[in-house]
Structure 1
Amino acid sequence: MNVDTQKVLKTLNPRKVWIPVLLGIGIVVAMMLFDDNLTADKLLLISHAGGGSLLLALLIILCRDIGYIYRIRIVTGKQLSWMSSVYVILLWEFASAVTPSVVGGTAVAIFILWKEGIKLGQALAYAMLTAILDNMFFVVAAPIAILLSGGQAFPRLEAANLQFGGSLEVLFYISYGLITLYTLVMSLALFSKPRAFKWLLIKATSIGFLRRWRHGAVNRGNEIIMASRQFRGRGWEFWAKIALATLFVWIARYFTLNAVISAFADLTLSEHLLVFGRQIVMWITMLISPTPGSSGFAEGLFPQFFGAFLLDYTLVANILWRMVTYYPYLILGALVLPRWLQRVFLQKNP
């Protein structure tokens, strides 16, 4: 397996933070300009936010990141130190924030793990495993959320926006289908039939117009076989730990918004569960966004899914939600990246 260092470093470019920032700000400004009911007084509603709920949101984010750090350390068999695990997670989140959601930061994660001293084949296996675990959460949680919501997981829109509402459902089911297919194929390839997966890749690239990718298909097949060897003989304790860690980090990720909304509105238990379920649906829809970190796309979807709970507070809650869950990783990544590059290129020789 080869790693295109220049391509990865081009992705891990602190200057790229401006692209998603400007997209997000642009959407928010547009929403403000086209909202005839928006006044200066309404912009000051942020001062009415419950401070305790916002502190809770920040605490949940911290706990979620600790969960990610713990999981990557367990997945790598504790080959990473705690400090290395912190670097990996912060830069992985940064890579996800500056690349389109449909692309993700997995390729960058492989490079980061490799530069932290993990063998390349192992780095591939670990990155693939975490991606599969995360996708499995979506695949299992989404139907549960839809069933338990009593048909309310998709927002009920005004008559003028019914067409857009239908588009939301279409986007969701397309994204969910793609995630399910990817998870099924990659799970079989990594855990059960790696050689069969390689054979399928080779057969597929035997077709005339696909032959140009045959060499790459052979390489990808060899990488899958190499990666699958990393998890043979792992006991139930290993799988239980990483499964529970995955469940914890995603529940924490979603409950962050519950805390933000609670700063402006009193939610009942059933409403909390509905907000949680709608986040799963919205997140899956966002996964096919072409923008970096779903910037702009996320801000645009937020009022459709949660405006009914927030009413006049929707815009300020939208801004706060992205301020605590997205933009900090752009800033932290841009600050941490130069130090990490100096650390791994000048002080290490993987």
Structure 2
Amino acid sequence: MPDPRQARDNLPDTSAKRLVGLSLLFICLSGLGIWAIYLQVPDTSLTFDFRLVSWQTLLAVAGLLGTYYLSDALRLYYTLKALDQQIALKEVFRLVFVNIFFSNITPMATGGGVAQIWYLRRHGVRLGTATAATTIRTILAVIFIFGLTPIFLLTLDHLNNQTIISRVGGLLAVMIIAYLSFFAILLLRTRLLILPISAVLRRAHSLGLLKEARHRHWQYKVRREMLRFSHSFSVYMRGSKRNVLLSILSTFVFLLSLFSFPALLIFALGYDVDYLVTIGLLVVTTFVMYFAPTPGASGISEGLFGSFFSTILGANHLVLVTIGWRVLTIYLGMVVGLLVMQRELSRKGLS
């Protein structure tokens, strides 16, 4: 097991003031996104539709939530097993909520990756292997989303009249290529990344930002963990075909359940749902969210969702479904994640 003091050194900044500040920023930006949707339909008063809380809807939502969270845990669990890492599923399940919390209070989900690696290290997984596992899990989802986005952009009539898509269509294509190229280098030519990282450390040392001993330590550590990362990916590719296949299948189920929440809510409100269209609109929305600079893509995701689904839903229902979508896929998980994180810190004696 890793040294608890070392685990503490890698702990994300969890000071109360910082977490409260980031959470408030997330809430404010999300509120602004929903308010922007409401302003598009100023003549409509917002009223709650109780069909969203009928027992049939709640039962369906509970089943979809269970599938969503379980498949999210399983995609990392089987990735770790393919890397010959044994960790209890219940621990990975807790990590799902910790990741949701940190991913949505930090810009571009940067804190989510740090929190996952920190958590896995505390449960006996080496840094390079933990980094490889979380990166592979992310890449599996990216391949699905980035591969499907161009298809839906070209085939969905609902996106033809979207001004934002027509203006940045070329940029989206460049971003897809750049993003996939970076991950290809990260996985297939990891050693190429050692040189620029090493150069940054040397520059920091020359500027006096790193003392000599610290500089040597980080040069060694970067090389060691990058090589471990490269080796871990090779282990994954040569690992149990069953575990590799299950990690891919779990990722597919996770994404399908994630993209199904709006369809479920729209169906509950009595609309004739074109399931494939709702899936396509969510795929494109999620793709754009990858590049949103705000915490958890707050504000941007709500505004984009409202714009895409405005041709499907009535004005009042558009706001309700937007809120419901974010509550079920993000807000609920964030609350649970905060509780799990605090319990984890207390249980390990680091709070």
TM-score w.r.t. structure 2 length? 0.81
Matched length: 330
Mapped to 2, the partners of 1:94 and 1:243 lie a distance apart of 24
CA RMSD of superposed structures (Å): 3.3
Percentage identity across aligned positions?
Answer: 20
* 1:196 Cα deviation after fit: 4.3
Unaligned runs of 5+ in 2: none
- Check 1:116–1:223 CA distance in 2 against 1; reply closer, same or farther (3 A cut): same
Report if aligned partners of 1:110, 1:120 keep a CA contact under 8 Å in 2.
yes
2:38 is matched with 32
- Check 1:46–1:155 CA distance in 2 against 1; reply closer, same or farther (3 A cut): farther
2:116 pairs with 1:113: no
Mapped to 2, the partners of 1:104 and 1:182 lie a distance apart of 19
Cα deviation 1:155-198 (Å, max 9, x = unaligned): 524xxxx3x44345356335423422222222313xxxx33443
Aligned with 1:292 (options 295, 298, 302): 295
Q: 1:222 is aligned with what amino acid?
A: R
Report if aligned partners of 2:201, 2:219 keep a CA contact under 8 Å in 1.
no
* 1:120 Cα deviation after fit: 2.3
Aligned with 1:318 (options 319, 322, 325): 322
* 1:292 Cα deviation after fit: 1.0
Q: 1:331 is aligned with what amino acid?
A: V
Report if aligned partners of 1:11, 1:99 keep a CA contact under 8 Å in 2.
no
Aligned with 1:258 (options 249, 260, 263): 263
Q: 1:241 is aligned with what amino acid?
A: L
1:276 is matched with 279
Report if aligned partners of 1:155, 1:304 keep a CA contact under 8 Å in 2.
no
Cα deviation 1:17-51 (Å, max 9, x = unaligned): 22212221233234435632222xxx225224473
* 1:121 Cα deviation after fit: 2.6
> Mean Cα displacement is larger for which, 205-214 or 295-304?
205-214
* 1:247 Cα deviation after fit: 1.1
2:336 pairs with 1:332: yes
1:138 is matched with 145
Unaligned runs of 5+ in 1: none
- Check 1:100–1:153 CA distance in 2 against 1; reply closer, same or farther (3 A cut): farther
Give the secondary-structure state (helix, strand or coil) at the position aligned to 1:288: coil
Mapped to 1, the partners of 2:185 and 2:110 lie a distance apart of 17
Aligned with 2:26 (options 4, 20, 29): 20
Report if aligned partners of 2:99, 2:116 keep a CA contact under 8 Å in 1.
yes
Cα deviation 1:298-332 (Å, max 9, x = unaligned): 11111211111112211111111111111112211
Give the secondary-structure state (helix, strand or coil) at the position aligned to 1:79: coil
- Check 1:14–1:209 CA distance in 2 against 1; reply closer, same or farther (3 A cut): closer
Report if aligned partners of 2:107, 2:293 keep a CA contact under 8 Å in 1.
yes
Report if aligned partners of 2:105, 2:296 keep a CA contact under 8 Å in 1.
yes
Mapped to 1, the partners of 2:13 and 2:197 lie a distance apart of 29
1:226 is matched with 228
- Check 1:9–1:238 CA distance in 2 against 1; reply closer, same or farther (3 A cut): same
Report if aligned partners of 1:255, 1:276 keep a CA contact under 8 Å in 2.
yes
Q: 1:252 is aligned with what amino acid?
A: S
- Check 1:104–1:274 CA distance in 2 against 1; reply closer, same or farther (3 A cut): farther
1:341 is matched with 345
> Mean Cα displacement is larger for which, 273-282 or 222-231?
222-231
Q: 2:276 is aligned with what amino acid?
A: L
Cα deviation 1:57-95 (Å, max 9, x = unaligned): 342122121112222222222622132112211101111
Give the secondary-structure state (helix, strand or coil) at the position aligned to 1:142: helix
- Check 1:278–1:101 CA distance in 2 against 1; reply closer, same or farther (3 A cut): same
* 1:112 Cα deviation after fit: 1.0
> Mean Cα displacement is larger for which, 210-219 or 126-135?
210-219
Report if aligned partners of 1:175, 1:284 keep a CA contact under 8 Å in 2.
no
Give the secondary-structure state (helix, strand or coil) at the position aligned to 2:159: coil
TM-score w.r.t. structure 1 length? 0.81
2:306 is matched with 303
Spell out the pairing of 1:138-287 with structure 2 (5 A cutoff): 138-147=145-154, 150-152=155-157, 154=159, 156-157=161-162, 162=163, 164-167=164-167, 169=169, 172-189=172-189, 194-199=190-195, 219-230=221-232, 231-232=234-235, 233-268=238-273, 271-287=274-290
- Check 1:84–1:254 CA distance in 2 against 1; reply closer, same or farther (3 A cut): same
Mapped to 2, the partners of 1:337 and 1:205 lie a distance apart of 33
